[in-house]
């Protein structure tokens, strides 16, 4: 771990000024940044601690939307009564993430922005080529061992999966990310794989909150996560659903994780589900389109079938057809 400086910001403006400096990076819960700095996958010159900024940890309901502050701790959000009532899949995804100790420290904003768990990205001492670490250096995963890598959004520049759970649910809920500068749809927050940037945020831009509509779909939301073990493990595939059956036809929003380079919506699946009553046959037809754009390797080709079957299972359960 290289030598670095530390600043505990006392205001949003002070934090922004510090983050505008080359080599600076924001620190909130510290559960990802410190880990990656120790590994050498990130080499910050200055850690800007924003964890003490006032007013960014509240959970509130306002104008028909559920707002969650970026500095709210994951454990607190998963137990919040409004979250459990208005968007239960948010709580589900948090409870299935990491460990209890980490959830007590990690923040909502930091969790959304967590970096990939790709072994080639994290092992900087062994693998010099990584476009996420050093844009233009190449991708060591190409031709390597890739059972945990992406089949959706993968390119010759990067095939690393987005590792989070919460952001998958937020994608299905059409969440908005609020920063000190603007509002960004969560599905538009993440940059394309291998583009040289992780997100569309400016270097000194700070997430202040995330919000979702407190609608019928969010109230009937769910999250299904398949993984190699039942705790402290990242998803092999995950499915987030927002199911609204209050209108003339089903309105079902679908996002998946563990298989893509970023939180991934599936409009082709949603279109099939909108076309008629949610029967078993229609669900099977919809699930079959999920991996239509998949790009796999011999190591992760199994994820195509796993995604299809997991999505079908999640839909049958959510629609009480299982």
Residues forming a β-bridge with 213: 65
Given a contact cutoff of 8 angstroms between Cβ atoms, the answer to whether 7 and 48 are in contact is yes
Task: State the pLDDT at residue 121.
Answer: 97
Cα 66 from Cα 178, distance rounded (Å): 12
Fold classification of 5-53 is: 3.30.43
Query: What are the residue boundaries of the structural domains of the chain, listed by start?
Result: 5-53, 59-113+162-318
State yes or no: pLDDT of 228 exceeds 90: yes
Task: For 53-111, write each residue's pLDDT tens digit.
Answer: 999 999 999 999 999 999 999 999 999 999 999 999 999 999 999 999 999 999 999 99
* Choices 3.40.250.10, 3.30.390.50, 3.40.47.10, 3.40.228.10: CATH for 59-113+162-318: 3.30.390.50
Strands 183-185 and 207-213: unpaired
Cα 50 from Cα 36, distance rounded (Å): 18
Task: State the pLDDT at residue 1.
Answer: 60
Which residues, at least 6 apart from 54, have a Cβ–Cβ distance to it below 8 Å? none
Task: For 121-153, write each residue's pLDDT tens digit.
Answer: 999 999 999 999 999 999 999 999 999 999 999
- pLDDT above 70 as % of the chain: 100
DSSP 3-state percent helix, strand, coil across the chain (nearest 5): 30, 20, 50
State yes or no: pLDDT of 3 exceeds 90: no
Output the CA torsion sign for 54, 58, 61, 65.
positive
Q: How many of the other CB atoms lie within 10 Å of CB of 318?
A: 22
Candidates 229, 221, 228; CA nearest to 172 is 221
State the pLDDT confidence band at 211, using cuts at 50, 70 and 90. Answer: very high
Candidates 193, 192, 164; CA nearest to 103 is 164
State the pLDDT confidence band at 196, using cuts at 50, 70 and 90. Answer: confident
Output the CA torsion sign for 192, 193, 196, 202.
positive
Average pLDDT, the chain: 96
Q: How far is the CA of 208 from the CAs of 14, 23, 111, 232, 257, in angstroms?
A: 15, 22, 13, 27, 24
Candidates 143, 142, 168, 137; CA nearest to 155 is 142
Cα 238 from Cα 290, distance rounded (Å): 13
Task: State the pLDDT at residue 2.
Answer: 75
Task: For 141-188, write each residue's pLDDT tens digit.
Answer: 999 999 999 999 999 999 999 999 999 999 999 999 999 999 999 999
State the pLDDT confidence band at 194, using cuts at 50, 70 and 90. Answer: confident
Output the CA torsion sign for 124, 126, 130, 135.
positive
Cα 179 from Cα 160, distance rounded (Å): 26
State the pLDDT confidence band at 249, using cuts at 50, 70 and 90. Answer: confident
- Is the backbone of residue 249 left (phi > 0), alpha (psi -120 to 50) or beta? beta
Average pLDDT of 238-252?
A: 93
């Amino acid at each position: 771990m290289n030598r670095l400086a530390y600043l505990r910001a006392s205001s949003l403006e002070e934090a922004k000024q510090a983050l505008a400096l080359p080599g600076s990076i924001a620190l909130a819960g510290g559960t990802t940044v410190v880990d990656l700095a120790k590994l050498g996958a990130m080499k910050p010159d200055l850690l800007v601690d924003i964890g003490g900024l006032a007013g960014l940890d509240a959970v509130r309901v306002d104008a028909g939307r559920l707002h969650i502050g970026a500095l709210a701790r994951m454990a607190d959000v998963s137990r919040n009564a409004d979250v459990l009532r208005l968007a239960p899949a948010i709580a589900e995804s948090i409870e299935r993430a990491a460990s209890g100790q980490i959830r007590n420290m990690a923040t909502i904003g930091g969790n959304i922005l967590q970096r990939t768990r790709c072994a080639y990205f994290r092992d900087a001492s062994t693998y010099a080529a990584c476009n996420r670490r050093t844009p233009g250096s190449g991708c060591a995963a190409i031709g390597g061992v890739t059972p945990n890598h992406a089949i959706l959004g993968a390119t010759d520049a990067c095939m690393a999966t987005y590792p989070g759970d919460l952001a998958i649910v937020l994608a299905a809920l059409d969440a908005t990310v609020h920063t000190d500068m603007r509002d960004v749809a969560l599905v538009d927050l993440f940059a394309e794989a291998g583009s040289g940037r992780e997100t569309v945020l400016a270097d000194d831009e700070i997430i202040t909150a995330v919000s979702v509509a407190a609608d019928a779909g969010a109230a009937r939301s769910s999250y299904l996560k398949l993984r190699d073990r039942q705790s402290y493990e990242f998803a092999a595939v995950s499915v987030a659903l927002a199911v609204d059956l209050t209108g003339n036809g089903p309105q079902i929003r679908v996002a998946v994780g563990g298989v893509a380079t970023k939180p991934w919506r599936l409009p082709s699946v949603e279109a099939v589900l909108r076309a008629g009553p949610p029967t078993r046959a229609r669900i099977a037809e919809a699930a079959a389109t999920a991996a239509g754009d998949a790009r796999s390797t011999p190591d992760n080709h199994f994820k195509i079938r796993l995604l299809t079957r997991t999505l079908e299972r999640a839909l049958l359960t959510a629609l009480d057809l299982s």
